[in-house]
Amino acid sequence: LDIFAELAERSKRLVWLCPEPPARWGTGDSCMLQYRPHCTHVSHCASAVELERAIDEALAAYG
């Protein structure tokens, strides 16, 4: 997590596309809730349709 936080600080933006549904973040072995604060944008993305939506959102926000 320390290395990830350092990378996030050095980056202009950090976008994470996560295949896990948000309801599972922080459960089991999911560490998403620890990484999320270091990300500029996090999207649930488990299909081609969701990938397209996530890319559109990121481009609209940061393009």
pLDDT < 70 positions in the chain? 63
Give the pLDDT score at 1.
87
Entry pTM: 0.78
β strands within 1-63, DSSP E:
15-18, 41-44
| Sequence spans of domains, the chain | 2-62
Q: Which residues of 38-50 are buried (b: 16+ CB within 10 A; e: fewer)?
A: bbeebbbbeeeee
- What pLDDT is stored for residue 24 in this prediction? 96
